[in-house]
Amino acid sequence: MTVFSIVLHSLSVIVLVPAIVIFSVYKQLQVHRISLHKNFCVAMVLYDISVILVDSLFILDHVNEEKNIRVHQSPDLCKVLYTLSRYFRLCQYAWMFCEGFYLHKLIASAFAEQKSLLIFYVVGWGCPAIFVTISAVLRAMRLGHPCWMDNVEGYNWITLAPGL
């Protein structure tokens, strides 16, 4: 199952990178709506890359009966990669919300133009950081595990609940 996950996330990266390049290169696509969509695609690519790294470096190690050698050799790397994967997953939900909110604003006030996307950047990249930081601090204070992949004491809900 982990190999399947790695293959699908790799396929996602292969498809999304050209989309991001197209959004960035063509001047006709330099509008607010596409900028929001581009950030959503970037969040998806970063999540896919982080999952590929976690799966290939740490999950496959566990599945191959090597008793998590890499987790014990580099626990800090495991924690950082796992935390980044949680952050980018939450960023995906935040950017979906931003796109929906932007479309709602377009429909609700058809003639008012959005001047700045700053609030969307704060919501899309900043708000997930708050939840992931809280989760990481609590895990660091309370857990003695070499990596934080286990859902001990329900800490995963700190980063999963905002996506609901």
If one compares 129 and 63, the residue with the highest pLDDT of the two is 129
Cα separation, 109 vs 99, whole angstroms: 15
The CATH fold of domain 2-163: Rhopdopsin 7-helix transmembrane proteins (1.20.1070)
Structure confidence at residue 68 (pLDDT): 56
Tell me the whole-structure pTM to 2 decimals.
0.84
- Average the pLDDT over 48-71 and give the result: 71
Cα separation, 109 vs 113, whole angstroms: 8
- Average the pLDDT over 1-24 and give the result: 91
Q: Are 53 and 88 in contact (CB under 8 A)?
A: no
